[in-house]
Amino acid sequence: MISSRFEIAGEDVASHYDELDHFYREIWGEHVHHGLWLRGDETREQAVVQLAELVRERALITAGTLVCDIGCGYGATSRLLAGSGADVTAMTISAAQFAVAQERHGTTANLRFILGDWLANELPPESFDAAISIESSEHMPDKPRFFQQAGRVLRREGRLAICAWLAAEKPGHWAKKWLLEPICREGRMPHLGSASEYESFAQSAGFRLEKFEDLTRRVEGTWPAIVRRLLTKFATEPGYLRFLFSRHAKNRVFAVTIPRIWLAYRVNAMRYGIFTFVKSERSTAVPAVRPPSVSPGESS
């Protein structure tokens, strides 16, 4: 795995999304994830819904399916799934995202939001038919435990659909030093795993891989769209520049990370994929004390 030089804990991830809450909502919108371009002429708003729909399809989520949305952001995908009749429990570690999700929740009986850390969740064992994770696993400091918790809460033959930012299998030294490690550090991602590492973690937790699809070329259009929106905001709204140059803004560096991610995709240092896993056996027990994960600065 590619690891941040500095240790990143759950509170750092929460702080990132809490401090950048206003900017995420204005730049990304309610879906804080990549878009999926199938034809190529979709708007970004259409593309992000298409990605959520692909996840729904891969997880076989229909009316009555009991679903856990891991790292739900502002709850847009959770609302989409609940709107189709699924029974959804959604979790975020960000208080700002939780507040917005609750505000937009309304009175939907088949949807509930939880503010908490997935790695320390206390959801009942074997209580879900499906679990989804759209770009949240990257923020987990303990990837094996991420999968163990999914295995714990899913029923036998339960499905786990994951969309993830991935490191290339064998990135070069330059890409590691100038792209991948800074992206981890600045984006508050403890590690970037490769597709093969994700599969290994999942298998160790009792899952079998049903399908993996590399979506890099279909999602990378997200980043020029985001860069254009960000530049427009810098040019038209003084508050964006004030934040960028504020000494008190802990996460202002993410403005630099955005074009860095775009470049990492273009040079194939980063990939983007969707995994479909099925729980094939009783998952490994989640230990009461979190085991140490890869040390900051290590990479494979």
pLDDT value at residue 287: 52
pLDDT value at residue 284: 55
Report angle CA 149, 151, 157 to the nearest 5 degrees.
155
Helix (H/G/I), strand (E/B), else coil: 211: strand
Q: Residue for token digits 């993830």?
A: 164
Residues 6+ apart with CB under 8 A from 254: 16, 20, 186, 187
Give 291: exposed, middle or buried? Use CB within 10 Å, 0-12, 13-18, 19+. Answer: exposed
pLDDT value at residue 23: 86
Domains of the chain with bracketed CATH: 2-279 (3.40.50.150)
Chain centroid offset of residue 123 CA = 20
Q: What is the pTM of this model?
A: 0.91
Cα–Cα distance for residue pair 125/148, rounded to 1 Å: 11
Cα–Cα distance for residue pair 190/4, rounded to 1 Å: 5
- The one-digit pLDDT tens for each residue of the chain (300 residues) are 999 999 999 999 999 889 888 888 888 889 999 999 999 999 999 999 999 999 999 999 999 999 999 999 999 999 999 999 999 999 999 999 999 999 988 778 999 999 999 999 999 999 999 999 999 999 999 999 999 999 999 999 999 999 999 999 999 999 999 999 999 998 999 999 999 999 999 999 999 999 999 999 999 999 888 888 888 988 898 887 787 777 777 777 777 788 889 899 999 999 999 999 999 865 555 554 444 444 344 443
Cα distance between the two ends of the chain: 5
What's the order of all strands across the beta sheet hosting 154-167? 111-115, 87-92, 66-70, 128-134, 154-167, 270-279, 207-214
pLDDT value at residue 283: 53
| Tokens, residue 285 | 């027990």
pLDDT value at residue 62: 97
pLDDT value at residue 282: 58
